[in-house]
Structure 1
């Protein structure tokens, strides 16, 4: 099996060591996601890598173009990264990543259609390293992950035991993986933040839409939809005369496809109930919670 660890650790810190003065008491993350396909469909790359700052993709690489390209607002930023050097690094990672996929298939003696994915990165809270991850999956199932507290690789699949033995054959690789997660990745994230405050710290307030639906002889269902907001953290609840109502379990927040998010919450009330029912919305863009009252004569209100 190809030695994946050393290649992934060749993250030369191209950006120096200047540290931003503050992080606004917020959490920031840097995450790399790799995907390799043994039999890609026509027109699809066999390997691709995307780097994310928080939930926003800031560069992408794939096996057809062989170049790392900044995305979104970062395509207009000068000096954030040496993209030619980053492209060469991604080429090396692609080669070893795909070799690892092939070796796993050899272990199972199955040369069919398979997917290998890797994810690694770190998190800062108030400029202090607060979390890290490094893990792999094969065909959607956990394969192996790095535990920096041991430190060592933890196999989660039969074939991964062989991977662990090869990756830990030289102890220096384990120590370098630990150092990457605890030192190098957080330092890289601090540097990236110098060029990323505007897109990451932006505050887009939510719009709110209230709707209701009644089935004859049954209760009325009220739905509160909040949309167009960023960042994604959001709290929604229905209230009756200011008292919280028992709603459906809180739904996940979903991307809207335009860089913002949406979320909703529903509650069932007596069909003849007059309330007053209101939806309360809490978001970091709002100086105080936003309360929108449902009006039976006006089904939607923003």
Structure 2
């Protein structure tokens, strides 16, 4: 019998190491299990990420590993990946049952696992592996010791079980060797997409509330990567921002961000929105007047 945690580490396709410079680049996975799922929620879901970009989705309803829209052909063997995720689902949900038993509670509970690694200039530079139960940190892996570190009293049971099965060295090897090798292989296909610089398109909207206050909102759309700087000025003086926000990653792999300022409704400005992003040779300025 293959120990439970070691089964999570099985890699069904060979990783081919290639020269990968710069970065950092990361490969990570998010697993979520629910003991009593609702009708529109799968009991198990898995998502794989390269940097901030999802590239793989699997759930217990479809039982099929599927690519995200940007996926490059040939990067993943989807038949093998489906078999791997099916096996991981069984192990993960069995672990959830064990943890519920440690708490002596058979109600509705959620178990999440996240693990992954990072490389920079082709060299391993970090990794993590941790679990949470009902939103609270439960147990994590320390690669330096190495050992599983319980974060709740009940997690001692999990630590003993996994370490008795001999998972410590296998977990360390996976995080420090197998995971980086897999990431290098994926980067052969995905680097052009990850390294791209998509400039923002910037627009301004104006809205008057109760005839007294005007809200000017500057919106930056469809940019990548995520870091961006936005601010308002009037006559070359920075104006205090009323609100700022950013949207989640869109389906096309880009971001949205906005910054708003409130002014008297009769104020005609001019006001300028300034946007700085790595894709721009110089800051972009859009003026409302």
> Is the shorter-chain TM-score for this pair beyond 0.5, marking a shared fold?
yes
Please state if 1:148 is matched with 2:121.
no
Aligned residue number for residue 134 of structure 2:
139
Q: Conserved in 2, the CA contact under 8 Å of 1:254 and 1:263?
A: no
Shift of 1:155: 1.7
Aligned residue number for residue 225 of structure 2:
231
Shift of 1:264: 0.9
Q: 1:38 aligns with which of 6, 31, 35?
A: 35
Please state if 1:7 is matched with 2:28.
no
Q: Given the two structures, how large is their TM-score scaled by the length of structure 1?
A: 0.84
Aligned residue number for residue 298 of structure 1:
none
Distance in structure 2 (CA, Å) of the matches to 1:131 and 1:253: 28
Aligned residue number for residue 190 of structure 2:
196
Distance in structure 1 (CA, Å) of the matches to 2:208 and 2:42: 49
Q: Conserved in 2, the CA contact under 8 Å of 1:253 and 1:263?
A: yes
Aligned residue number for residue 77 of structure 1:
73
Distance in structure 1 (CA, Å) of the matches to 2:8 and 2:276: 40
Shift of 1:244: 2.8
Please state if 1:263 is matched with 2:289.
no
Q: Given the two structures, how large is their TM-score scaled by the length of structure 2?
A: 0.87
Q: Conserved in 2, the CA contact under 8 Å of 1:3 and 1:96?
A: no
Q: Conserved in 2, the CA contact under 8 Å of 1:206 and 1:227?
A: yes
Comparing 249-258 with 99-108, which one deviates more in the overlay? 249-258
Distance in structure 2 (CA, Å) of the matches to 1:126 and 1:276: 46
Distance change in 2, residues 1:27/1:137 (3 Å):
same
Instruction: Kindly report which structure 2 residues correspond to 1:1-302, keeping only aligned pairs within 5 A, or say none.
Output: 4-12=4-12, 14-20=14-20, 22=21, 25-42=22-39, 44-74=41-71, 77-78=73-74, 80-169=75-164, 172-215=166-209, 220-248=214-242, 250-269=244-263, 273-295=267-289
Shift of 1:99: 0.7
Matched residue SS, 2:70? helix
Q: Conserved in 1, the CA contact under 8 Å of 2:69 and 2:252?
A: no
Query: 5+ residue gaps in structure 2?
Result: none
Q: Conserved in 2, the CA contact under 8 Å of 1:15 and 1:81?
A: no
Distance in structure 2 (CA, Å) of the matches to 1:50 and 1:196: 17
Query: 5+ residue gaps in structure 1?
Result: 296-302
Shift of 1:263: 0.8
For 1:19-75, what per-residue CA distance to the aligned partner results, in whole angstroms no more than 9, with x for missing partners? 34x3xx44322111111121223364322222111222212222333332333232x
Q: Report the RMSD for the aligned CA atoms in angstroms.
A: 2.6
Shift of 1:267: 2.6
- Number of residues of Structure 1 aligned to a counterpart in Structure 2: 288
Distance in structure 2 (CA, Å) of the matches to 1:87 and 1:217: 58
Shift of 1:142: 1.6
